[in-house]
Amino acid sequence: KAGVTQTPRYLIKTRGQQVTLSCSPISGHRSVSWYQQTPGQGLQFLFEYFSETQRNKGNFPGRFSGRQFSNSRSEMNVSTLELGDSALYLCASSLGQAARFQETQYFGPGTRLLVL
């Protein structure tokens, strides 16, 4: 079974631009979560989508948004990029069933975003 895929793998943008990152979950997984990883803040939860609906959200400004499609693929958008948005963005998928505290999230390879 194919793992979680993320595109693009690397991205360079300038301040003020916007960016869209894509994530394809493991087949059969309906939950997709996004994380931001920086050296200073570590891994921080952005949001989770399940059945095309945002089910959970972290403490990030409204410039960070996402969506999920009917095939469970998800996109994350960051508008008006700031230098501090430079990070590794990781997507993770899981089945999304009940007793979710037991569910393992499987991560993709990440997208490295550099904002100049």
Partner 1 sequence: AQKITQTQPGMFVQEKEAVTLDCTYDTSDQSYGLFWYKQPSSGEMIFLIYQGSYDEQNATEGRYSLNFQKARKSANLVISASQLGDSAMYFCAMREGAGSNYKLTFGKGTLLTVNP
Binding site for partner 1 (CB under 8 A): 33, 42-43, 45, 48, 55-56, 58, 88, 90, 92, 99-110, 112
Cis, peptide link before residue 39, omega less than 30° from 0: no
CB of 82 to partner 1, least distance (A): 21
Nearer to partner 1, 13 or 112 (CB): 112
Q: Are 104 and 16 in contact (CB under 8 A)?
A: no
For residues 32 and 67, give the distance between their C-alpha atoms in angstroms, rounded to a whole number.
10
Q: Is 15 exposed, middle or buried (0-12, 13-18, 19+ CB in 10 A)?
A: exposed
Q: Are 46 and 60 in contact (CB under 8 A)?
A: yes
Nearer to partner 1, 67 or 100 (CB): 100
CB of 83 to partner 1, least distance (A): 20
Nearer to partner 1, 45 or 79 (CB): 45
Nearer to partner 1, 16 or 39 (CB): 39
